[in-house]
Amino acid sequence: MTSKEQDVSSVWTRPQRKRRDNESLNRDQIVAEAVRLLDAEGMDALSMRRLGARLNAGATSLYWHVANKDELIELVVDEIFGELDIPEIDDPARWREAMTRCAISVRDALLRHPWFSSTFGEVGLSYLGPNMMRLSDRMLAILERGGFDLPTANRAVTVIIAYVTGVTSSEASWHTTIKRSGRTEQEWLANVRPAVAARLQAYPRLAEAYELFQIGDPAAAREDDFRWGLDRVLDGLSTSKGGRRDVRMDPLRASDAK
């Protein structure tokens, strides 16, 4: 191993330590509890000491399985990618249906875990996680089956993931704001509406758009907006089938949307 390779600090670049005799704790348990803590209290609450207390384990036990907090974050990020629904298709004509299903699954996971959107972009080697690699490879397979060559499929996956994470990160932040307020979304909107209306008086187009947003169920409106944007992305990608086979690409970063 060269000195440069040794400088790469990642849970994915070092061998996993063997489980010790009579060890009651394992890495899967640590990661699962970390996800529960993050879902309940957010990234600011995560520490090795706090996690150890929740697991009734000392720091030594945790550090045997996870070298530091950065490695733990790599593991929890990949754990979330393991929740995704990535279909396989036999009919090439169903590539759009399959990619829509993938995109919705990613969105749903981001909304279940609001801390994930801001964390994912800070994990340098997230694309080496086994669940992330499975996601990337299977999405590429769907697009290849649908008639895209591999370089174009690679770019398409990047675009789709970038769209989903970009749009949904704002939505996840919104959910976090509502949760912290201790109110329902309807209550929060009703409370802030007079102040928003006053600020929008000088901006007629924004005011009209805001009024349209108030009609019906805001959650349904956000989902409809997401699907509309996703359809436009897939419309654009559908014109790129075949693509250019001389395009350079890094296959390990196929769906790294940082």
Rounded-to-integer distance, Cα 226 and Cα 115, Å: 20
Distance CA 134, CA 9 (A): 22
Sign of the CA dihedral 134, 140, 142, 144? negative
| CATH level 2 (architecture), domain 3-76 | Orthogonal Bundle (1.10)
pLDDT score, position 248: 53
Q: Closest by alpha carbon to 243, among 147, 100, 129?
A: 147
Contacts of 237 (CB under 8 A, 6+ apart): 148, 156, 159, 160
CA atoms within 13 A on the CB side of 102: 31
Across 9-18, average pLDDT = 79
Taking only the tens place, the pLDDT of each residue in 15-39 is: 777 666 556 789 999 999 999 999 9
Q: What angle do CA 182, 184, 188 make, to 5 degrees?
A: 85
pLDDT value at residue 124: 66
Q: Is the dihedral of CA 72, 76, 79, 81 positive or negative?
A: negative
Domain with CATH 1.10.10.60 in the chain: 3-76
Burial of 4 (0-12, 13-18, 19+ CB in 10 A): exposed
Least trusted range by pLDDT, from 58-62, 94-98, 157-161: 58-62
Q: What is the CATH number of domain 92-253?
A: 1.10.357.10
The confidence score (pLDDT) of residue 246 equals 47
86-133 per-position pLDDT tens digit: 898 999 999 999 999 999 999 999 999 999 988 877 776 778 899 999
Q: Is the pTM of this model over 0.85?
A: no
Q: Would you report the helix, strand and coil content of the chain in percent, each value rounded to 5?
A: 70, 0, 30
What is the DSSP-derived secondary structure letter of residue 182?
A: T
CATH 1.10.357.10 residue ranges of the chain are: 92-253
